[in-house]
A and B are shown apart, each in its own frame.
Chain A
Amino acid sequence: MKRISQWAMLPVLLAVAIISLAIARQAQPPAETSIIVKPYTSTGYDKLIRSMQAGMLPGLGADLATLEIFSGFYQFTHNSKELSQQPLRESIYRSFVISQFLDPQFLDTYRLTEGILAYGLNMPEQAVELLERGSQQLDHWETPFMASFIAYDQLHDLDRAIALAQLAGEKSDVPPLIIGYTARLINNTLGTDFAIKYLEERKRRLHKGYQQGIEKRIIKLKETQNAITSKS
């Protein structure tokens, strides 16, 4: 009888403990912020530590850093307290840097850079720098093209936009659209002559199937140039 009553007490005690805990938590004020932001450290130190943690799985390290970007950005968009935004932005930026450092060819990093870093966190300078670095590792037109677009659209840095667009144009899978975009940038800054020379150079190196599109752009620019010349 004594044994049974001891065992019967256990669920009762457990229930009492759970109910007490629930009541106590209800009574507490909500936490000021649930954000845990890493204290600021140098990027070099971060890279070293994360390299050690990733060990022989740098790809996984980059994947996890990318997930940190997702969760960090979610906190950023759902947190209304202005005070904690800057450290959080820096923390998310560091996750971008780590992800690229561990796996420079990871496309998701650059896709998130184009969106979250450039526009969501409003860090276009850092975004362009990251995309530019990525462009050196990847034989893929999108990365330098997006860097060029952000440089043009957000930073209003035409020289940089042109340089990046030209870099995009040199990638093996570049579509004619991008060459056309580059030509337009050159036309707006350096003039039509430069734009035509750029297009002729690109056409020479482009696959025959794409040359027709470039030829049409050259013809159009020449017509425009002729029209301006004849007016003046």
Chain B
Amino acid sequence: MKQLIFFTLQEVINARLFRLMLLAPMVLSLLALTFTGLFMLDLGKVFVDSMFTTAHILCFAFLMFMTVPFLARDIEARFTYVLLTLPINRNQYLIGRFLGLTMAFLLLISALAVVSVLSLELTQFIWDDLYMASANAGNIILGIALISCQYLSLMAVALFVFSWATGPAEVLSFTFLIWLLSWIFPPVLTAMQDADVAETVPPLLQAFLEGCYQLLPHLTGGDIANRLAHGASLSGSDISLYIAEHTAYTVILLILSTLLFRRRNL
């Protein structure tokens, strides 16, 4: 399986789109600096918001334009036949491909983290420390790491869909749908705590949404992103629980994927 992991990593790294994604943080961080300059007081918080936005954009792009087409191509072009007739069993194939993609993803995230910290250092020459007080390298790196946890869960979702899908359209549409629901659900559920919002949402719908939410990866990054952007720290136990939750979700989906893929006709 080790060979398949490194082969997959090599395959992704050699892709032009991935190399473009590696360069994208530099461009996006310049845009982030420009955006930050539009504000008055809380420049540090706006800068951190922008960097988190950059992280989301890159992670989404990797999910939709690398992971999904990559997996979909395995089915459509029947690269699975080539791989599965090597001395690799189906579980090794599935997990090997996933881990290879994960390694490429982590490479991308690392590049983003490095560029973010360098951009933060650059802001020292642009704005007064007073306005950048809430931004610190530790929080930015932590935030990016937690965002990447969320997207690893979503990559596991893509793999799960791949394990039963018959073509690229299914993989793409289902993965996008899950991403969209995971994007919308947490803030909606949080917003429903507000009195104004609760008036507009019927109680039955609220209960239904709460139930559905349990099936999705809990992308509660919004609250965390806000706290980190304002310079607040997260406790070690909060971070551990967050990572553990997403890791558990990923592992469960991997197990389900292998169970489905094992029985599947190719």
Binding partners A and B: yes
Q: Which residues of A contact B (CB under 8 A)?
A: 42-45, 47-48, 51-52, 54-60, 63, 66-67, 70, 101, 103, 105-108, 111-112
Cβ-closest 9 pairs across A and B:
A44-B196, A59-B49, A55-B183, A51-B187, A51-B191, A56-B221, A44-B200, A107-B42, A107-B41
Report whether A48 and B191 are in contact in the complex, using a CB–CB cutoff of 8 Å.
Answer: yes
Q: Which residue from B150, B187, B192, B199 sits with its C-beta under 8 Å from A58?
A: B187
Q: Which residues of B contact A (CB under 8 A)?
A: 35, 38-42, 45-46, 48-50, 52-53, 56, 147, 150, 183-184, 186-188, 190-192, 194-201, 219, 221-223, 225-226, 229-230
- Known: A57-B222, A107-B41, A111-B40. Contact between A63 and B46, CB under 8 A? yes
- Separation of A207 and B195 alpha carbons in the complex (Å): 39
Other contacts beyond A47-B197, A57-B53, A58-B225: 18, CB < 8 A: A44-B195, A45-B200, A47-B191, A51-B197, A52-B187, A55-B183, A56-B222, A57-B49, A57-B52, A58-B223, A58-B226, A59-B48, A60-B53, A63-B39, A101-B191, A101-B194, A106-B42, A108-B41
B183 / chain A contacts, CB cutoff of 8 Å = 52, 55-56
Interface of A is mostly: helix
A58 / chain B contacts, CB cutoff of 8 Å = 187, 222-223, 225-226
- Separation of A56 and B198 alpha carbons in the complex (Å): 20
**Most chain B beta-carbon neighbours within 10 Å: one of A59, A101, A106, A108:** A59
Query: B188 to nearest A CB, angstroms?
Result: 6
Query: A44 to nearest B CB, angstroms?
Result: 4
Question: Nearest residue in A to B192 (C-beta to C-beta)?
Answer: A48
A56 / chain B contacts, CB cutoff of 8 Å = 56, 147, 150, 183, 186-187, 219, 221-222, 225
- Separation of A29 and B39 alpha carbons in the complex (Å): 36
Report whether A51 and B190 are in contact in the complex, using a CB–CB cutoff of 8 Å.
Answer: yes
- Separation of A43 and B200 alpha carbons in the complex (Å): 10
- Separation of A45 and B200 alpha carbons in the complex (Å): 6
Report whether B196 and A63 are in contact in the complex, using a CB–CB cutoff of 8 Å.
Answer: no
Question: Nearest residue in B to A59 (C-beta to C-beta)?
Answer: B49
- Separation of A67 and B56 alpha carbons in the complex (Å): 21
